[in-house]
Amino acid sequence: MVRGTVWNIVNMTARKKVTAVSSRPVVGRPDPVPPKIREVVPGRSYDQTAPYALSAMQKIGALQAPADPPSFHLWYAYASRTFPALNHAINELLERKETISLEELDGVYDRYLSSNWIVGRVEKVGAGFREEVDEVIATIEAAIGSGADYAVNLTGASKRLGDVKDRESLREIIETLVRATHEVAERNQILQTSLKSSKKEITELQKNLAVICQEGLTDPLTSLGNRKQFDEVLDQAIEQSDREQRPLSLLMCDIDHFKKFNDTFGHVMGDQALRLIASAMKLAVRGQDTPTRYGGEEFAVVLPDTALSQAVAVAENLRRSIIEKKIVKRSSGESLGRITVSVGVAQYRRGDVAQALTERADRCLYAAKHAGRNRVVSESDLAGAQRNALSHASIVEPEWQEYPSANP
């Protein structure tokens, strides 16, 4: 039903554009039925992304905004709540004004989604580096000039000493040298202060650049690594596993019934649930492990130097720690119950690329979902399921079928 709705909206938008461009009837073959994707990328299935796409198109239609890629990107991000700060900025515009200008929306897009914004920040830091380097070079050149002037004074004094005939002439030469020495000392003090200031400024610029780089790898809501960091870390872990002949495992984790939770209690409480999962993940892993927010309500943990059985133990510990936590509404103290997660576990095989390992872990995750949720399923469980109908999956807690009412 959602698939048809999305295509209807897209087709209606396309027809309106054609009509606006030309009043002549469009003659030709009908639009072909889009083919199905042969392999679904983990975390980007139709069922996961279609509601966000539909919501984005509805927002565009309601605002009569341009139905172009930047506009769709903006409202898709708003619907998926990938960047809480973006949602906050848009909500402020919606609450403060009866109408929103395209310039204001473009400003939000540039601030939170456009790569130009990051590039601009990096360029600003780079300009700061260039200014400080120019200042250091100028300082060094000044020091060289000061040294040259002092050398000239010494040479002149040396020549004059050969012609000294009385004490008064000698005293004048000595006084000249003393003055020149004091001048050099003062200049050196100024140069030293300037160099210290430049060093401090360069250190601050380095910190700013590190912050920008870290922001590009961090999910703003949970403070976990984002999808980009996941991709980078997994590639590095695979290289290390091959080089050192050490095991490597991957967890894919998804919150059970998260859409229902959001619909029942709202996105604010949904964000709190995501932060709770992130907190539990940080406590469940070691320093060398990397927990990340893979996308939406899906998380991933890269586990270097970890065999499959050990990874299953980590996943089971994570699952149990999450179900032990309660979601509490801060404003009222009302308990909203507990949330559960399903986890898929896969181990790296020699010759794997990152996508192959991710897809195997994702298949295990979906097997856990289909088997009843709130459980851990590994590759060995899937192999056993072919013989024994998944009888070797992890211990199952009672499934949470219904959330308590938001308005008891």
Domain residue extents for the chain: 2-20+40-113, 117-215, 227-388
CA angle, residues 390, 391, 397, in degrees to nearest 5: 100
Q: Please, which pLDDT band fits residue 348 given cuts at 50, 70 and 90?
A: very high
If DSSP codes are grouped into helix, strand and coil, which group holds residue 19? Answer: helix
- Tokens coding 263: 């619909």
Quick one: pLDDT at residue 121?
A: 58
Give the mean pLDDT of 391-408. Answer: 40
For residues 171 and 246, which has the higher predicted lDDT (pLDDT)? 246
For residues 202 and 68, which has the higher predicted lDDT (pLDDT)? 68
Give the mean pLDDT of 277-297. Answer: 90
Q: Indicate yes or no: pTM above 0.75.
A: no
pLDDT digits (tens, 9 = 90+) for 181-213: 777 777 777 777 777 777 777 777 667 666 656
Q: Please, which pLDDT band fits residue 80 given cuts at 50, 70 and 90?
A: confident
Are 3 and 50 in contact, with CB atoms under 8 Å apart?
yes
Q: What percent of the chain has pLDDT over 70?
A: 68
Would you say residue 132 has pLDDT above 50? yes
Mean pLDDT of the chain: 76
Residue of 85, 116, 86, 118 lying closest to 212 (CA atoms)? 118
Cα separation, 195 vs 137, in Å, equals: 10
CB atoms near residue 235 (< 10 Å): 13
CB atoms near residue 164 (< 10 Å): 13
Q: Which residues contact 20 (CB under 8 A, 6 or more apart)?
A: none
Tell me which amino acid residue 372 is.
G
- Tokens coding 53: 């796409």
Would you say residue 117 has pLDDT above 70? no
Cα separation, 145 vs 91, in Å, equals: 60
Quick one: pLDDT at residue 120?
A: 55
Are 229 and 218 in contact, with CB atoms under 8 Å apart?
yes
Fold of 227-388: Alpha-Beta Plaits (3.30.70)
If DSSP codes are grouped into helix, strand and coil, which group holds residue 371? Answer: coil
Phi, psi for 337 (deg, rounded to 5):
90, -160
Residue of 193, 212, 186, 71 lying closest to 136 (CA atoms)? 193
- Tokens coding 383: 């192999």
Quick one: pLDDT at residue 401?
A: 37
- Tokens coding 8: 């209807």
Would you say residue 14 has pLDDT above 90? no
Are 260 and 348 in contact, with CB atoms under 8 Å apart?
no
Q: Which range in 6-20, 45-59, 345-359 is most confidently predicted, on average pLDDT?
A: 345-359
pLDDT digits (tens, 9 = 90+) for 359-395: 999 999 999 999 999 999 999 888 776 656 544 445 4
pLDDT digits (tens, 9 = 90+) for 163-172: 766 777 777 7
Cα separation, 357 vs 118, in Å, equals: 31
Alpha carbon 348 to its chain's center: 24
Q: Which range in 55-59, 170-174, 327-331 is most confidently predicted, on average pLDDT?
A: 55-59
For residues 399 and 206, which has the higher predicted lDDT (pLDDT)? 206
Quick one: pLDDT at residue 17?
A: 41
Give the mean pLDDT of 112-117. Answer: 59
